[in-house]
């Protein structure tokens, strides 16, 4: 039943996500877009905390989690260990605010699908998720109160990964993810021209850019747990992703367009391709900076946990030779996450809500983007529920996150966001010997 449910969910989400825009952030204009994947719903409901691992949920940010107990402490008569599935999506509502006005927008997206297989002391994990996303439609106003520039962008980078974890001991495990990143980013811009009567000329010029991206990167993980006494457990984790690169195959063209005055729709009359080969920009390499994350926390197993995590990324080393914006630069980014969970009584059979996992957390982030000498920061608070469903320790997860990103200073935009996230964490037994056919 679980396998059939997963197949149905994959088909539905794949159809819905085929033409989706994963973000509506104007800050996705920079680099390769806004970071889309920030962990599973369970992680994000605890402020983005990803150091905790257990036997039921996959932790897609630390490959060391693919091993662990895998419910081995529960009696299955030695017949099999459960395979873990997870799938998630989200809905985001954003208020875009500037010194001159505000606007509302929303997006609904597929966030991830993954599965892990226990293999003795090893664990195999694989999955697919959107990594970054580009989606913006912006207009600037000139001194005459008319449209000065129009910018549009869409696309992003996806990540297909396979990982292997190894259990060194009951307390310590390590792991490695190998990811293939792929996708494309398309953007265009128009600098409006007006005649002597301050009326837009009939034909405008539009610049069109497209980059097709691909490349490999790796993520190393370590997880350590130990009992400090009979009730208190220490949990810690470390992940490190070394510097990597994306190959970018680029095209650029210029179109003469006519714009419908009523709808704003653009119609291309003719298009001329620019020779990027002569500028050594036909194929370029984008640097993806290294990242390290470390955290620790305390808790009582199957009862409560609280922890903190710090992430540093060498974002100042990011480079994209195709696009150079003199008003923006990248600096090193940092994230501090604090969060945890509480379970009233995990094995209560009479009261459902006592078996629910209650999660909460907050995060502070310097995104690494600096525009007009203003650092783009993000702050968020999150809450979540882990709801038991069916049998064999499967559950549905709901998360609510709200916060803000950016500022209205220096003619910039502040995003006030509310994110609603959903996921299923399903466990099933494969290769089980059946007593009856």
- Torsion 44-46-50-52 (CA) sign: negative
**pLDDT score, position 15:** 38
**pLDDT score, position 60:** 93
**pLDDT score, position 76:** 40
**pLDDT score, position 198:** 81
* Contacts of residue 178, Cβ cutoff 8 Å, sequence gap at least 6: 161, 162, 163, 216, 218
**pLDDT score, position 218:** 97
Closest CA to 86 of 65, 58, 51: 58
User: What are the tokens at 49?
Assistant: 């905390």
**pLDDT score, position 73:** 37
**Domain layout of the chain by residue ranges:** 2-429
**pLDDT score, position 69:** 52
**pLDDT score, position 81:** 55
**pLDDT score, position 392:** 56
Q: Which CATH superfamily is domain 2-429 in?
A: Outer membrane protein transport protein (OMPP1/FadL/TodX) (2.40.160.60)
pLDDT tens per residue, the chain (437 residues)? 344 434 434 443 443 443 345 677 888 888 888 888 888 999 999 999 999 888 778 899 999 999 855 443 334 444 445 688 899 999 999 999 888 788 888 888 889 999 988 888 899 999 999 999 998 888 877 877 788 888 899 999 999 999 999 999 989 999 999 999 999 999 999 988 888 788 888 899 999 999 999 999 999 999 999 999 999 999 999 999 999 999 999 999 999 999 887 777 889 999 999 999 998 889 999 989 999 999 999 999 999 999 999 999 999 888 777 666 668 889 999 999 999 999 999 888 788 899 999 999 999 999 999 998 899 999 999 999 999 987 557 889 999 999 999 999 988 899 999 999 999 988 765 444 444 44
**Taking the model in full, what pTM does it have?**
0.87
């Amino acid at each position: 039943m679980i396998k059939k449910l997963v197949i149905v969910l994959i088909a539905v989400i794949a159809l819905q996500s085929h033409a989706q825009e994963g973000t509506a952030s104007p800050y996705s204009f920079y680099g390769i877009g806004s970071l889309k994947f920030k962990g599973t719903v369970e992680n994000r409901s605890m402020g983005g905390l990803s150091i905790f691992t257990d036997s039921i949920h996959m932790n897609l940010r630390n490959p060391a989690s693919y091993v662990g107990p895998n419910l081995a402490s529960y009696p299955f008569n030695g017949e099999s260990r459960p395979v873990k599935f997870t799938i998630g999506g989200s809905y985001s509502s954003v208020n875009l605010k500037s010194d001159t006005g505000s606007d509302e927008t929303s997006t609904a997206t597929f966030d991830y699908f993954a599965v892990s297989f226990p293999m003795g002391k090893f664990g195999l994990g694989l999955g697919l998720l959107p990594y970054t996303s580009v989606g913006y439609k912006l207009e600037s106003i000139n001194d005459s109160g008319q449209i000065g520039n129009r910018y549009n962008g869409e696309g992003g980078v996806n990540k297909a990964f396979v990982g292997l974890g190894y259990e060194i001991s009951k307390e310590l495990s390590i792991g490695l993810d190998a990811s293939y990143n792929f996708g494309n980013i398309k953007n265009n811009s128009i600098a409006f021209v007006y005649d002597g009567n301050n009326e837009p000329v009939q034909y405008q010029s539009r610049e069109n850019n497209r980059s097709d991206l691909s490349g490999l990167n790796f993520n190393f993980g370590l997880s350590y747990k130990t009992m400090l006494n009979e009730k208190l457990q220490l949990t810690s984790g470390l992940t490190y992703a070394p510097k990597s690169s994306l190959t970018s195959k680029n095209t650029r063209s210029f179109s003469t367009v006519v714009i419908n005055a009523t709808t704003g729709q653009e119609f291309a009359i003719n298009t001329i391709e620019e020779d990027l080969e002569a500028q050594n920009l036909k194929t370029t390499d984008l640097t993806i900076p290294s990242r390290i994350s470390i955290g620790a926390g305390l808790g009582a197993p199957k009862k409560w946990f609280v922890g903190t995590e710090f992430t540093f990324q060498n974002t100042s080393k990011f480079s994209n030779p195709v696009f150079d914006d003199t008003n923006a630069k990248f600096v090193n980014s940092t994230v501090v996450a604090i969060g945890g969970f509480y379970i009233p009584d995990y094995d209560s059979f009479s009261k459902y809500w006592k078996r629910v996992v209650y999660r909460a957390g907050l995060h502070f982030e310097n995104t690494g983007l600096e525009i007009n000498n203003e650092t783009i920061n993000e702050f968020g608070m999150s809450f979540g529920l882990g709801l038991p469903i069916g049998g064999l320790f499967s559950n549905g997860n709901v998360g609510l996150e709200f916060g803000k990103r950016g500022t209205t200073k220096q003619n910039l935009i502040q995003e006030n966001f509310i994110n609603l996230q959903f996921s299923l964490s399903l466990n099933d037994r494969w290769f089980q010997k059946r007593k009856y056919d």
